[in-house]
Chains A and B, each alone.
Chain A
Amino acid sequence: MAGLQGFLSRLGLGADSGPSSTTTSPKSAGQGEGNSWGDGNIKPTGKSSSEDEGNSPNSRGSSPHLGEQRLGKITSSEGGGGAPSANAPRSAQSSNTARVPGRAMPGRLMKASRTRPPPTDGGSGSNTAAKSGPKEGNGVSNLQSSSASSSGGVELNNGSQADAPSSALSPPPSSSPSSSPLPPPSSASSPKSSGSSFPPKPSSPSASPVTNPASEKFSKLLSTTSTISLPSLRSLSWSGVPNSHRGEVWRILLGYSPANRGRRDAVLDRKRGEYWKSIEQVGLSPVPSSGESGSPETLPATLTKSETRLLRQILVDLPRTSPTVPLYQSPEIQTMLKRILYLWAVRNPGASYVQGINDLATPFVWVFLEEYMHGKLKDNESISSLDVSSCVPPPVLSIIESDTYWCLTSLLSTIQDHYTPNQPGLQRQVHTLGSVVKRTDARLHTHLQDLGVEYIQFAFKWCNCLLVREFQPRTVARLWDTYLSEEGGFSNFHVYACAALLTRFSAELRAKVDFGDLFTTLQQGLPTEEWSDDDVSMLCSQAFVLKSLFEGSEKHLE
């Protein structure tokens, strides 16, 4: 930490200290002198997470020994980092820097992750059972969901990844058309079944379990101990979680799924059951998916006036939830979101439903679907346009729904005063953001002021929707990996991420000399569509630096 401080003080903080950068991100080239704290110090982290490789379709070809090398290094650096999350980025970073020789063609990687759909695609070579390492159906058993086509594959694989070794491997869900044509699950018997399917190997399915390094690390951590060490998990997740493990990791980091594996199934079963009971209690139909009765437009007659108003508001927003992502427009997901949002609002009358909370539910739906679909997607398919009705059996949907509810609840409980009247927590965040930018990017701050743009005018949305609207879904998932790994990720770290985001586009923003132009750019979204995981890693590292500097030292922010 001392080294870090020294580094930063050398940069002179607010001053544009001239980028010494050779950052690997092509994006930062355009950043030029705009970056007031120089790319140099941040850069190493940019290439941090080894999940990058794992996520990249291109990594399929990466050689096994390379993976081992990485694994070894990361592990050793972890050993040194006794402190929890705080050190995570740095250790990951150094190990990554060390690995430079091993990282073949970053440019190519980057490109791949930009142009390809979320790297969930199992690819044709993947094997179905491997991804699921499904365990017995107890996750589903007590849900009253219509058991339609439920077979062994209905439960989410995740919890099962940890448990995979012990669980009987059941066949993939027969109802999932996309999975049936895939080759037989020959490597399913591998204890690291999840890892072996990710990334999918082009070679024969019976190849030895050459696993994705990041994925393997997670598999290891999640399965080798009876009680998962949360500091270790945070530390590992800080730099990104592979899609294959993200669902499970998020559930644990949010405190929904117990770190103690022995208790996990029982707890999850109970919570999932509770959710559905609650749905009935509040008068909503528990019919999981489409159909007349489950259509999002249905207004139960039993509701009071204020409940009706609440539900109306939610219904107005449902079709406007990430409207450009077809997934969220499917009747199944709309119905799901309706129930989740309504129940949360009813159970949290102090806040009730506030527009934008709908956005906050979407990453969970995404991540859990991605988890379930891991290895099942074909190359040209993505979660974004997943045909839920044909790919995801109702029992799985009902699990995803209840998990989304509980995870959203857990997330919102950390930022309670974001959504209470006058939204004080949110206003506080926006205020802090202004202070941080003033100190770290004085030129941008002055520019905003000169043109009369107030932070509240654009950052209100950033804080209200926790940047969900500023990024593509896969990018949000990566960003939230870090949020979830940071203490106070959403309530605190987020502010620094916003500051880093602004600074990242400082030059572009300062080039706008007209209030309207500047405001429009900020309001319509900074150009992040093409962001890769690396870009997010870089952003998080920058945010981490800022947080280390300013947190707890309010004087610096005056």
Chain B
Amino acid sequence: MSTRVEEEYDYLFKVVLIGDSGVGKSNLLSRFTRNEFNLESKSTIGVEFATKSIQAEGKTIKAQIWDTAGQERYRAITSAYYRGAVGALLVYDISKHGTFENVERWLKELRDHAEANIVVMLVGNKSDLKNIRGVETDEAMSFAEQHNLAFIETSALDSTGVDTAFQRILTEIYRLMSRRNMAAEEGVGGVGKGQSIELGEGKKGGKKCC
């Protein structure tokens, strides 16, 4: 149980989960990485972390996902984890409009603390709560378009969309990175195996992945 040989991977991408508290970030993470959903989960204090590897375009991509506390008070601490992140899942709760209204604030957080070209996906979680939906899909979708974000609805509870969300954002990060590497091919030798990459400048964020 203790010692495990690190699995092989081609790329390591750091992704952060952000959004208001109680929207289901931790359960998205556990659903994706361990296929678990815990109704009895505690609030996240500080940060938590998990990894999972996926295949995208023939490459093994290891996602290192940092799950952050949602309360505003913790942002000073959690924003430190934005450093080096190449992707962010910005989560709200489709049954609570307030959590969607705060998405703008979270975007500002990212602008202030994250890499300029971080790939952001807007995630409307708890899609199983259709009967008490507070945020219409159209509303969220047009917001996402407007801000050049990818968008998906998920349910960590019944698994809907969870794998797709991570798969999409990781693939998008990979594509973005490959394009940039290609562009910079001549000069610097791209990102080495098992290396974390940072999306540098020079590419405008083609952030829509769907």
Contact = CB atoms under 8 A, between A and B. Distances in A.
Interface in B2-19: 2-4, 6
Contact of A355 (B2, B43, B47, B51): B43
B73 A421 contact: yes
A302 interface: no
A517 B71 contact: no
A398 B99 CA distance: 34
Nearest to A516: B51
Contact of B50 (A312, A356, A520): A520
Contacts of B74: 354-355
A465 B3 contact: no
B146 interface: no
A316 B25 CA distance: 13
Contact of A313 (B21, B41, B45): B21
A322 B77 contact: no
Interface in B63-100: 69, 71, 73-74, 76-77, 98
- Say which size band chain A's interface belongs to: 35 or more
B77 A460 contact: yes
A519 B49 contact: yes
A313 B2 CA distance: 37
Contacts of A513: 2-4
A459 to B, nearest CB: 9
A266 interface: no
A307 interface: no
A421 B76 contact: yes
A465 B69 CA distance: 14
A423 B77 contact: yes
- Say which size band chain B's interface belongs to: 20 to 34
A512 B3 contact: yes
B47 to A, nearest CB: 6
B22 interface: yes
Interface in A63-79: none
Interface of A: 312-313, 316-317, 320-324, 352, 354-356, 358-359, 419, 421-423, 456-458, 460-461, 464-465, 469, 508, 511-514, 516-517, 519-520, 523
Given A356-B43, A513-B4, 15 more contacts: A317-B21, A320-B22, A320-B42, A321-B42, A355-B45, A355-B71, A456-B77, A458-B46, A460-B77, A461-B46, A465-B45, A508-B2, A511-B3, A517-B3, A523-B48
Interface of B: 2-4, 6, 21-22, 39-43, 45-51, 69, 71, 73-74, 76-77, 98
18 contacts: A313-B71, A317-B21, A317-B22, A321-B42, A322-B42, A355-B21, A355-B74, A419-B73, A421-B73, A421-B76, A423-B73, A457-B47, A464-B46, A465-B45, A511-B2, A513-B3, A514-B4, A517-B4
5 nearest A-B residue pairs (beta carbon): A323-B40, A316-B22, A460-B46, A511-B2, A461-B45
